[in-house]
C-alpha cells in the first residue's frame, strides 16, 4: 500500500494493524517521550534517549522501529548493527544535532589534542565517531566526573554543557549549539507560570537557558521528570517539550502537571504519525544504514556512556 491509503484506517484499526505487523515481523517499537500521544500508545518501550538506547542494545527483535528523530534511530543501529532499524519519517531530524559536524570536531581535536570530547547523544553518528565518550541529559554529570581533571569540549548543546560545568566545576569548553525548543524558554515564561500556578514546583530540562535553570526547583532529564511526577503528589510545572506532559497527564490523570509553556513543541518529533509508522513497518521502509567504520568508532563512545549508567 501507499502512505495515503493508511488514512482510510480508523485510529483503532491502525493500532490493530501495527500490532499484527509487529508480531509477524518480530519487531519492537521504541518511542521517545516527545512523540504525539497517539504514537506513544503503540510503544513497547517509551522513554528518553538513554533508556531507549539501552532497550535497543538489549532487544532480541529482528526489527527496531524507532519513533523519534534520526540521531536516535542511528544510535539504535550503532548498538544493534545486525538488526533492521526503521525510522517512520526519514526527514525527522534534530536541529541541535545539526550544530556540529565531524569536520568541525576533527578540526578542534587537531588544534587541541589534549582535550577530551564529550558529545551529547543529540548528534550525528559521524560526530559520535569523532568523540571520546557520549552522554545524555540523564548521565552527563556522571560522564564528565568520570574524566577526572581533563580539559573537556562539550558539544553540541551549550546549555546542557553550562549546567554540567556548574554542577561539576570541570574545565569545560562549550560548543555554540542549542535545542530551539528549550533554548527559547524564557525567564518570563517562568514568571507567568509561577503566577498561574503559585503552589506548584518547577522542574526544567538542563537544555533550558541558564537563567531558567537557575530559577527552577529541580533540574533533570525527561526520565527524571516522569519519575518525579509519578512518585510525588505536589503540583508540578514542567519545562520541556509538551509530549512529556501529555504522557504524564494521560498516565496519571489525577496529577496536577502543567507545561511551563505551550510553545515548547519539537516540530520534527511530530512528523511521526500512526500512518507513517504502519507504512514503514509493513513495507520495511526508511532503513537506517551506517558505514562500518563510522559505526565501530561511534559504538566505542556510546558503549563508554552506557557503562557509566
Q: How confident is the model at residue 172 (pLDDT cuts 50, 70, 90)?
A: very high
At 238-273, the pLDDT tens digits run: 999 999 999 999 999 999 999 999 999 999 999 999
- Examine the domain organization and report whether 199 and 162 are in the same domain: no
- Examine the domain organization and report whether 153 and 171 are in the same domain: yes
HEC string of the chain equals CCHHHHHHCCHHHHHHHHHHHHHHHCEEEEEECCCCHHHHCCCCEEECHHHHHHHHHHCCCCEEEEECCHHHHHHHHHHCCCCEEECCCCCCCCCCHHHCCHHHHHHHHHHCCCCEEEEECCCCHHHHHCCCEEECCCCHHHHHHCCCCCCEEEECEHHHHHHHHHHHCCCEEECCECCHHHHCCCHHHHHHHHHHCCCCEEEECCCCCHHHHHHCCEECCHHHHHHHHHHCCCCEEEECCHHHHHHHHHHCCCCCEEECCCCCCCCHHHHCCHHHHHHHHHHCCCECCCCHHHHHHHHHHHHHHHHHC
- Examine the domain organization and report whether 30 and 108 are in the same domain: no
- Examine the domain organization and report whether 29 and 57 are in the same domain: yes
For the chain, give the mean pLDDT. 96
- Examine the domain organization and report whether 126 and 50 are in the same domain: no
Q: Is pLDDT of 308 > 90?
A: no
- Examine the domain organization and report whether 86 and 8 are in the same domain: yes
Total-model pTM: 0.94
CATH number of the domain bearing residue 158: 3.40.50.10800
- Examine the domain organization and report whether 304 and 157 are in the same domain: yes
| Residue 210 structural domain | 185-262
- Examine the domain organization and report whether 153 and 79 are in the same domain: no
- Examine the domain organization and report whether 148 and 231 are in the same domain: no
- Examine the domain organization and report whether 86 and 101 are in the same domain: no
The total of structural domains in the chain comes to 3
- Examine the domain organization and report whether 108 and 174 are in the same domain: yes
Q: Is pLDDT of 54 > 90?
A: no
Amino acid at each position: 500500500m501507499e502512505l495515503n491509503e493508511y488514512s482510510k484506517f480508523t485510529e483503532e484499526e491502525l493500532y490493530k494493524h501495527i500490532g499484527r505487523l509487529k508480531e509477524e515481523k518480530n519487531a519492537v517499537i521504541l518511542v521517545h517521550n516527545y512523540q504525539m500521544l497517539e504514537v506513544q500508545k503503540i510503544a513497547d518501550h517509551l522513554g528518553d534517549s538513554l533508556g531507549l538506547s539501552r532497550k535497543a542494545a538489549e532487544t532480541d527483535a529482528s526489527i527496531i522501529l524507532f519513533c523519534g528523530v534520526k540521531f536516535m534511530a542511528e544510535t539504535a543501529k550503532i548498538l544493534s548493527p545486525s538488526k533492521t532499524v526503521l525510522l517512520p519519517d526519514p526527514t525527522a531530524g534534530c536541529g541541535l544535532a545539526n550544530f556540529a559536524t565531524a569536520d568541525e570536531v576533527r578540526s578542534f581535536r587537531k588544534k587541541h589534542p589534549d582535550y577530551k570530547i564529550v558529545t551529547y547523544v543529540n548528534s550525528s553518528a559521524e560526530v559520535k565517531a569523532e568523540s571520546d565518550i557520549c552522554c545524555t541529559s540523564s548521565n552527563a554529570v556522571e560522564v564528565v566526573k568520570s574524566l577526572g581533571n581533563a580539559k573537556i569540549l562539550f558539544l553540541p548543546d551549550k546549555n546542557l554543557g553550562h549546567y554540567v560545568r556548574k554542577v561539576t566545576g570541570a574545565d569545560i569548553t562549550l560548543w555554540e549549539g542549542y535545542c530551539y525548543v528549550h533554548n527559547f524558554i524564557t525567564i518570563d515564561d517562568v514568571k507567568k507560570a509561577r503566577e498561574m500556578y503559585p503552589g506548584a514546583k518547577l522542574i526544567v530540562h538542563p537544555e533550558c537557558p541558564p537563567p531558567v535553570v537557575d530559577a527552577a526547583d529541580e533540574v533533570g532529564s525527561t526520565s527524571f521528570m516522569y519519575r518525579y511526577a509519578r512518585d510525588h503528589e505536589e503540583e508540578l510545572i514542567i519545562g520541556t517539550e509538551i509530549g512529556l506532559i501529555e504522557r504524564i497527564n494521560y498516565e496519571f490523570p489525577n496529577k496536577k502537571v502543567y507545561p511551563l509553556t505551550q510553545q515548547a513543541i519539537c516540530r520534527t518529533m511530530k512528523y511521526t504519525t500512526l500512518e507513517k509508522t504502519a507504512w514503514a513497518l509493513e513495507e520495511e521502509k526508511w532503513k537506517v544504514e551506517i558505514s562500518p567504520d563510522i559505526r565501530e568508532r561511534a559504538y566505542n563512545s556510546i558503549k563508554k556512556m552506557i557503562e557509566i549508567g
